[in-house]
A and B are shown apart, each in its own frame.
Chain A
Amino acid sequence: MLAFDWDIILTQTFSQAFGTQAMVFALAAIGLNIHFGYTGLLNFGQVGFMAAGAYGVGMSVFWLDWGFWPGLPLGVFYCLALALILGIPTLRLRADYLAITTIAASESIRLFVRWRGNRDRTGAAEGINDFADPFYDLNTLFTRPGNRSYEFLFWEYRADDLWVMLIGWTTVVVLLLFTWQLMRSPWGRVLRAIREDEDAARALGKNAYSYKLQALAIGGVIGGIAGMLQAIDKQSVQPDTFNPIITFMIWTVLIVGGAGRVWSPVAGAMFFWGVISGLKAFMRELLDTNAEDELERFLNLSVINIDQVQFMIFGLTLMLFMRYRPQGFFGSREEMALDDR
């Protein structure tokens, strides 16, 4: 009989569902939700904003010698600058142009910071490491020496991660409240009107261009905060962690949760990371059994390609999800069905 260690699988699932990755993706998706879910902006370069935030922190320490804390406002500044550079020329045009521009810009950023000429500023391909100690020094709650691990039921985290999670999930809650307040205000009503029909909003005296720019900047800064927390968590910024695929994972998180709903980024991120980590742990366990040879022979499943298979199965899950629940966890099917005439 197969002897599965379900404990490991469940621990992986639950720990990752609430872990730092899920937290970072939830934040990035909150930003994207303001862009796409509420304003209808097609931003396919959210990872570019994450990079802007992360490099703000890294470059403040590495290049400018300002230290860690000034890096946070610098990251915000980078994000605002990026939003203006992307938005000013494209937001007067049709929605597709922003999509093309953002995906190109996010790749340009990655290649630019990776460029050898920037070695003294961004660390080029090696990136910047070990710059976030001042952040961890504030941790008085969880014993740091030895970075010991804390366990509770199915949850298991290291002390450093717990500290990042505490700050990170608090930020998530604050930003959810922020989004909720904005979206129930007349300001949010204008955004949703622009999502439905920009010309109608304009005819009623709303400056659609200005609102779109504001939405792009706010969602971008929130994406930047996600990038900063990721950099802090890993104690490193590497250009190649800011691949376009990250953007599409953020989109997945948002769609699974249900675009245009305040809580959906959190639900989506927890589902995404929980399922994907659980799958991986499950396949590891599968390969530990005496069926290993059979699996390799019939499915080509082995320790080498477990990562690919994990994403294939997740892709299938997503397809089924979209087929049978296209509105995500929180969206309403009725609302999805309304045409955008």
Chain B
Amino acid sequence: MTDDGTTTDGATATAEEFENPVEGVFDDVERTPGVAKPDPILVAENVVRRFGGLTAVDVDKVQIQRGAITALIGPNGAGKTTFFNLLTGFDKPDSGHVELNGKSIDGVASHRLAAQGMVRTFQLTKALSRLTVLENMMLGAKDQAGENILKALVSPLWRSQETSVEESARALIERFKLTHMTDEYAGTLSGGQRKLVEMARALMTDPELVMLDEPMAGVNPALTQSLLGHVKQLRAEGRSVVFVEHDMDVVSDISDWVVVMAEGRIIAEGPPASIAENQTVVDAYLGSHHDSELTFDDDDQPDHGGDDADEGAAEEADSDDSEPEPSAAVDEAADEERGDDDE
């Protein structure tokens, strides 16, 4: 499969053009897990999700700043996607509380959240294969009269709305540079184009908060740049973005704030630069003993020395020479995981 050139050309150039309306907002925010934000759009408190004996998610507190791009990162199995599903109503927490725009969305069905301004995409892209790209887009529009079965029977009741929906769909298709694919089945698109369709389709709901589950997974580097440009454009339009990602490079390029998860908990928060140097984060990705010799105790069991990743939480990076350069190390780990996740 090839991502065709037109979707990638030009977007790389525009990626830097969008201004950041939340520049400086985080300057006075402390770099500690669960810290309060000046104007949160999404708040989660004490959210716990267990699968049998395994606690997949146990988040004390996290706030997402309005209008910013927030990255949710963490190694495989950290509970990012589970947490994401809990926030978007696709899974129910065993306990805890989530607020969107100050209103509780506990127990609210996932399909009602679109009306409240939250929309999500999926890690395994869900392009609707046997619908055309245009139909995929038009599906996204909210409050369509013709989606009521009785009104559907009488075309005049929905014709004019359909025309305006089609107009905005075509405009978005053009913005995402998919015009040549408008009438093709979405199933014929390449993996990267499907990511674009999914993101564009989400925008048809005119969301305040866009939740992207690994938008860059399995996408070639050129198209990644294009996707990054689109994400920045969302912020420039005043929308808030949360996205799940492995790759630290991607994260540091576009996010305003990074939330790091490991073993179901939030272990660090801060601007991308501070995260790359955070010892706890490096430990979470590589294991806390990646730089120490493997020793054995009396029973020939590997000797753990008794400490765990959480103990390093408060430490800032004061790396010595024997340690690999932190951000590069994180990248490596991320790349490795990414290989497993590719479609």
Contacts and interface: CB of A to CB of B under 8 A. Distances in A.
A73 to B, nearest CB: 18
Contacts of A203: 88, 90, 110-111, 114, 119-122, 126, 202
B147 A190 contact: yes
Contact of A189 (B114, B115, B131): B131
A186 B147 contact: yes
Contact of A338 (B110, B113, B144, B188): B188
Interface string B111-134: 111110001111011111111000
B139 A187 contact: no
Contacts of B120: 203
A335 interface: yes
A158 to B, nearest CB: 36
Contacts of A190: 139, 147
A181 B110 contact: no
A292 interface: no
B88 A201 contact: no
Nearest to B112: A205
A218 B153 CA distance: 13
B142 interface: yes
B188 A186 contact: no
Size range of the chain B interface in the assembly = 35 or more
Interface stretch (A82-90, A106-114, A206-214, A240-248): A206-214
A186 B128 contact: no
B152 A181 contact: yes
A174 interface: no
Contacts of B202: 203-204
B130 A197 contact: no
A256 to B, nearest CB: 19
Contacts of A260: 130
A7 interface: no
Interface of B: 88, 90, 109-115, 119-122, 124-131, 135, 138-140, 142, 144-149, 152-153, 155, 158, 162, 185, 187-188, 198, 201-202, 204-205, 343
9 contacts: A185-B158, A186-B146, A187-B146, A190-B147, A193-B128, A204-B139, A205-B115, A260-B130, A338-B185
Q: Which 3 interchain pairs have the tightest Cβ spacing? A: A205-B114, A338-B187, A186-B146
Given A178-B153, A182-B149, A190-B139, 17 more contacts: A181-B153, A181-B155, A182-B153, A189-B138, A193-B139, A196-B130, A196-B131, A201-B139, A202-B110, A204-B201, A206-B111, A207-B109, A260-B130, A335-B185, A338-B187, A340-B187, A341-B125
